[in-house]
Amino acid sequence: MIRFETNKAVAVGEAMIEMAETGDNTYRRGFAGDTFNTAWHMSQIPNLGLSVGFVTKVGVDTVSSEFIAGMRADGLDISFVGRDPGREMGLYMIELYGTERSFHYWREASAARRLADDKDWLTQSLKGAGLVHVSGITLAVLCPAARGRLVSVLAAARARGARVSFDPNVRPRLWASPEETRQAIKAMLSVTDIALPSFEDEAALWGDTTPEVTIQRIHTMGVAEIVVKNGAAAVTSWDGEQLVEVPCKSVVGIRDTSGAGDAFNAGYLAARLAGHTPVDAVASGQKISAPVLQHFGARIPKGQVPSLVRSADLRDAR
């Protein structure tokens, strides 16, 4: 079973200004982004002794400054949030259709597209990390050369003892073609220890017929620990020895599915860093993600985290 050398987690990726629909053509402004959502939820879990940082680039405008101040206030390590005077944060809007959603993006000038331009800076940002979390969106917003630098830096971090987790989180319109997507994901999986795919994405991109097929395919690429999310269906987990299905409890009062997978990743990875088994970590991920479905936007209200953690029974098991 995978072990971690330190309790420091670092997520790498893009954070954006989020305009989340709250009904009656009213929107609430916030900040979100898949790896940021995961890092933020991890950082709000008390009593685990985790250090959680976010590596990205933003602008020098007042909104970017507000984002950084919010992360600092919420306890994230912001040491490697770079400022780019020529760019700013991207923006996206969530449009709801019942409980499902579609997204509209404005991210061409996003500073996060340059987060891997400086290899030395990126290398320094991962020093001392026990876990580095990356997503397919992180890869997609980078140019091919920067993508290659990121994979190279991750390989070096692994050589120093870090573990790498990866959620493919496939967004087809961010990629030039399915073939480009597959090649980039293959390269990323070559430096991945924990894969956290969603079956719907894997079926669409690779033609997988079951979560078990997804696990078999990813395992052949050398990934030791694989967890396949599947909407309201059971989560299928492989820890290198045991294949387990963990049913999902039904969730009432669903308002918005945005960010649920990111919150699952947070609960799972936090539990693993704290010494829980993969099966117990799946249950923690499910409990952390369920309330996200009951709120508008990709993150639950900060004040609800302590009671949520108690219900998930997340504690330091090391």
Residues tagged active-site: 262
CA 15 to chain centre: 11
* SS3 state at 56: strand
3-class SS letters over 124-159: HHCCCCCEEEEEHHHHHCCCHHHHHHHHHHHHHHHH
75-93 CB burial, b ≥16 within 10 A, e <16: ebbbebbbebeebbbbbbb
Give the Cα separation of 259 and 194 in Å (integer).
19
Strands 100-106 and 90-97: antiparallel
Query: Element (H or E) spanning 63, and its range?
Result: helix 62-73
Give the Cα separation of 200 and 209 in Å (integer).
10
Contact 16, 37 (CB under 8 A): no
3-class SS letters over 255-290: CCCCCHHHHHHHHHHHHHHCCCCHHHHHHHHHHHHH
79: nearest Cα among 125, 16, 131, 116: 125
Q: How many CB atoms are closer than 10 A to CB 309?
A: 22
- Could you tell me where the beta strands, DSSP code E, fall in the chain? 8-12, 16-23, 26-32, 51-58, 81-83, 90-97, 100-106, 131-135, 163-167, 194-195, 225-228, 235-238, 243-246
